[in-house]
Amino acid sequence: MTKRNLPILPGSAIGVLGSGQLGRMFAIAARRMGYRVHTLSPETDTPTGQVADVEITSPYDDLDVVRRFAAGVSVVTFEFENVPALTAQAAAEQVPVRPSGAVLHVTQNRLREKIFLTQNGIPVPLFRRVTNAEELRHALSQLGVPAVLKTAGYGYDGKGQVKITSLNPNLPPSTFESELVLETFVDFDSELSVIGARGLDGTFAHWGPIRNTHTHHILDISSTPAELPETTVREAIEITRCVLEQLDVVGVLCVEFFLAKSGRLLVNELAPRPHNSGHLTFDACLTSQFEQQLRAVCALPLGSTTLLRPAAMANLLGDLWQEGEPNWPAACSWPDVKLHLYGKLVPKSRRKMGHLTAMAESVEDAVAAVRQARNSLKPGFV
């Protein structure tokens, strides 16, 4: 075993590139196990920085700062996949970066990601690369409408995407300033995700499919177990295992699926990190996605993913603050509901400020409870 593959033990410092809520929950899991956490991002007083030992504020492309940051920790991971490739490279000169920059490279760009998936025989919605209006018309004549046009890079929560319903759409010229992907609109029955983890020794773990519903393209509710036919469960897990193996991931990766009305699974996208749909694992599973990421990047054995009780998670967006401070005591009056807040100071519309997780005897009851608990947060709710 080379020195780089030795387990990184409690007491060591872990570097996190990015500083949002994913890094915060990772840091909480890491500190619980006696690790120190350093975070680097361009912001200050961040959700991760508030619970980390060290918060470095620097642009990602200041490579000298990145090298110094990496030299101060035993391993670097990330909580945000749009970290520039050169940043990951500079960190990797000092210590292992897990998952690797190569995983980031594929998953940072929808086109590269879809080509990778197709080459591995994994079904995705039909797609075409588009760089100008002429190519868009040509692609639409092949794929038909409705279709969805997405920026190839830097898109999330529906940002940089537009649904197209005409074969000759009238889009502003600025649309074509970046590389685009046109894909068929999937008339789905439901959206699912499988979060997988892979250790340095190739061990694979997963939490099974999670059912997701979105509002305005942003995740609203996640619940598990997803209560799907056994063949669908097996196929979704097999695809996830294949993605983690083929990308040689060390860490956690989420595969987002559409379950088409025909019963066919199609991969929508990959996220090479813990995922919003896995937040319920924090309270409802023996090992959360955050602790599993820590174990994987530290070359430790993975923990059990056993689900303790059926669970549902509801996101709390900044919109909830519109009429004043939410009624926190009301949310805490639900004994089987856990409140998570990310320490963000400004509650902007659509901004993820926190979440609730409800646990119950059945997944239906957990979904009902988490919705009711969220409703009770609205000021004046009785």
3-class state of residue 226 by DSSP: coil
Q: Does 268 bind ligand AMP (CB under 6 A)?
A: yes
CB 144 within 8 A of CB 184: yes
Q: Does 158 bind ligand AMP (CB under 6 A)?
A: yes
Residue nearest to ligand AMP (CB): 186
Judged by CB, which is closer to ligand AMP: 88, or 186? 186
Instruction: List, in sequence order, every beta strand (DSSP E) within the chain.
Output: 13-17, 36-41, 54-57, 75-78, 127-130, 147-151, 161-164, 180-184, 188-198, 204-206, 210-215, 218-224, 251-260, 265-271, 311-317, 337-341, 352-359
Q: Which of 15, 20, 155, 278 binds ligand AMP (CB under 6 A)?
A: 155
Q: How far is the CB of 214 from ligand AMP (least distance, A)?
A: 4
Give 86's DSSP letter.
H
**Residue 71: Cβ within 10 Å count:** 12
CB 308 within 8 A of CB 358: no
The helix or strand, by DSSP H or E, that contains position 332, with its residue range, turns out to be helix 328-332
3-class state of residue 209 by DSSP: coil
Judged by CB, which is closer to ligand AMP: 322, or 349? 349
3-class state of residue 62 by DSSP: coil
Judged by CB, which is closer to ligand AMP: 95, or 267? 267
Q: Which of 55, 79, 113, 183 binds ligand AMP (CB under 6 A)?
A: 183
**Which residues between 95 and 114 bind ligand AMP (CB under 6 A)?**
none
Q: Does 148 bind ligand AMP (CB under 6 A)?
A: yes
Q: Does 4 bind ligand AMP (CB under 6 A)?
A: no
| Residues contacting ligand AMP: total by CB under 6 A | 14
Q: Does 153 bind ligand AMP (CB under 6 A)?
A: no
Q: Does 214 bind ligand AMP (CB under 6 A)?
A: yes
Residues that bind ligand AMP (CB under 6 A): 125, 148, 155-156, 158, 183, 185-186, 191, 214, 217, 256, 268-269
